[in-house]
């Protein structure tokens, strides 16, 4: 019965866009562990015992966290399932402090990227790629998977992304023009591949290719480390886009709510909470919130 419940739970979550590869494997192991003991419902004692078999505390916390979420889902329909306490602590480590790039730093990075690979397509590829990440907030994986057919008059079609959902990302006319200039050079370079960005191997870019080029550009610019030992990565361009978008958020509760939902959709976040995270992760935004809260407390009309 518990094995069947696991299959139903995984099918439901995966239909919502979650891959749950590792979690699914662990849940099936837990179900087999429980049923071998004659238990067909989630038991707190058995869940803790099974999670405790992991080597490290963090692995135990992760295992138990998977069971807790599973048990909560089952208990909503059947109270015989127990939700175990998180005795091993939080199963997810805190998100690292994002590295936020200034507009000038982004300009310098793009300029440095354009100088990579003397007299080859490499410089144009990475300067265009980094520009696109900076002005759209795309994930690195989304950008390197772009194909010609994904470039439309209305913007970029981002297909089957992190959560297996597709979305449309509008492009400013300057971004469209820059992308088209790159494609004029790129198309004859690898005419039998329709990926937008290609390497010198005339094949689609790999994540490690992008990371290597970004590190080279960072070294050329000489960017300093960020707060909390944060270091710039290609994802920093996405973080910076999100922060700039939040800084331009209009006043008013209704306007802020609509802005956050629109930004969450634009970025392809599965939960709007992932967008709100930037508010607490970036000191500048936290300072703005504190100032607004102080004004509200003093009766200042916002």
Q: Is residue 83 part of a domain?
A: no
The mean per-residue pLDDT over the stretch 2-10 comes to 93
For the chain, the domain total comes to 3
Catalytically annotated residue among 162, 195, 220, 244? 162
Contacts of 111 (CB under 8 A, 6+ apart): 127
Q: Is residue 70 part of a domain?
A: yes
Domain boundary among 228, 259, 285: 228
pLDDT digits (tens, 9 = 90+) for 146-167: 999 999 999 999 987 665 678 8
**Residue 238, domain member (yes or no):** yes
Residue 242: its pLDDT value, please? Answer: 87
| Options 139, 140, 145, 186, the catalytic residue | 139
Residues 111 and 223 in one domain: yes
Catalytic residue among 122, 238, 239, 266: 238
Mean predicted confidence (pLDDT) in 21-38: 93
Residues 243 and 224 in one domain: no
Residues 115 and 190 in one domain: yes
Q: 219 and 133, same structural domain?
A: yes
Q: Which of 10-19, 146-155, 281-290 has the highest mean pLDDT?
A: 146-155
Catalytic residue among 28, 165, 215, 269: 269
Tell whether 167 and 140 lie within a shared domain. Answer: yes
- 131 within some domain: yes
Residues 83, 68 contacting (CB under 8 angstroms): yes
Residue at token pair 């935004």? 285
pLDDT digits (tens, 9 = 90+) for 86-126: 999 887 777 778 888 999 999 999 999 999 987 899 999 99
Q: Is residue 167 part of a domain?
A: yes
Domain assignment present for 85: no
* Annotated catalytic residue, options 14, 159, 220, 235: 235
* Predicted confidence (pLDDT) at residue 300 exceeds the cutoff of 70: no
At 299 the pLDDT is: 62
Q: Is 148 a catalytic residue?
A: no
Domain C-terminal end among 202, 228, 254: 228
Is residue 87 in some structural domain?
no
* 221 and 265 both lie in a single domain: no
For residue 287, the model assigns a pLDDT of 67
Range of the domain at 251: 233-297
Active site (annotated) includes residue 139: yes
DSSP bridge pairs for 147: 195
Residues 113 and 198 in one domain: yes
Instruction: Answer yes or no: is pLDDT of 33 > 90.
Output: yes
pLDDT score, position 179? 96
Question: Higher model confidence: residue 84 or residue 268?
Answer: 84
* E-only strand ranges, 55-207: 151-152, 155-158, 167-169
**Shared-domain flag, residues 166 and 199:** yes
Answer yes or no: 165 catalytic. no
Give the torsion through C-alpha atoms of 280, 282, 287, 290, to 10 deg.
Answer: -10
Instruction: Looking at the structure, tell me whether residues 140 and 166 fall in a common domain.
Output: yes
Asked about 63 being catalytic, the answer comes back as no
Catalytic residue status for 81:
no
From the list 9, 99, 126, 278, the catalytic residue is 278
DSSP state of 52: T
List 204's β-bridge partners, or say none. Answer: 198
Rounded Cα distance between 106 and 221, Å, is: 10
Residues 210 and 114 in one domain: yes
Same domain, 196 and 280: no
Sheet holding 167-169, edge to edge: 151-152, 155-158, 167-169
Q: Is the dihedral angle over the CA atoms 181, 184, 189, 195 positive or is it negative?
A: positive
132 with 208, same domain?
yes
* 28 given a catalytic annotation: no
Which of 228, 248, 269 is a domain's end point?
A: 228
Tell whether 256 is covered by a domain: yes
Higher pLDDT, 264 or 63: 63
């Amino acid at each position: 019965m518990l094995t069947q419940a696991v299959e139903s739970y995984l099918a439901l979550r995966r239909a919502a866009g979650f891959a749950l590869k590792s979690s699914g494997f662990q849940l099936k192991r837990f179900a087999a562990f429980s049923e071998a003991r004659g238990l067909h419902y989630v038991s707190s004692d058995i869940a803790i015992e099974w999670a405790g078999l992991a080597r490290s505390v963090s692995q135990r916390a992760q295992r138990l966290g998977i069971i807790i979420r599973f048990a909560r889902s089952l208990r909503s329909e059947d109270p015989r399932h127990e939700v175990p306490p998180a005795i091993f602590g939080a199963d997810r480590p805190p998100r690292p402090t994002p590295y936020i790039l200034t507009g000038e730093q982004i300009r310098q990075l793009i300029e440095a990227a354009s100088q990579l690979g003397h007299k080859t397509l490499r410089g144009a590829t990475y300067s265009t790629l980094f520009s696109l990440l900076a002005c759209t907030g795309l994930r690195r994986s989304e950008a390197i998977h772009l194909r010609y057919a994904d470039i439309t008059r209305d913007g970029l079609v981002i297909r089957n992304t992190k959560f297996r959902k597709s979305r449309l990302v509008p492009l400013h006319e300057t971004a469209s023009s820059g992308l088209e200039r790159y494609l004029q050079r790129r198309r004859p370079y690898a005419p039998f591949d329709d990926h937008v960005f290609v390497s010198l191997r005339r094949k689609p870019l790999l994540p490690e290719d992008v990371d290597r080029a970004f590190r080279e550009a960072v070294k050329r610019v000489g960017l300093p480390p960020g707060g909390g030992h944060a270091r710039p990565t290609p994802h920093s361009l996405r973080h910076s886009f999100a922060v700039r978008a939040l800084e331009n958020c209009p006043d008013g509760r209704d306007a802020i709510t609509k802005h956050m939902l629109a930004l969450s959709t634009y970025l392809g976040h599965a939960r709007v909470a992932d967008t709100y995270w930037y508010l607490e992760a970036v000191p500048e935004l936290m300072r703005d919130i504190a100032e607004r809260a102080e004004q509200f407390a003093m009766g200042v009309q916002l």
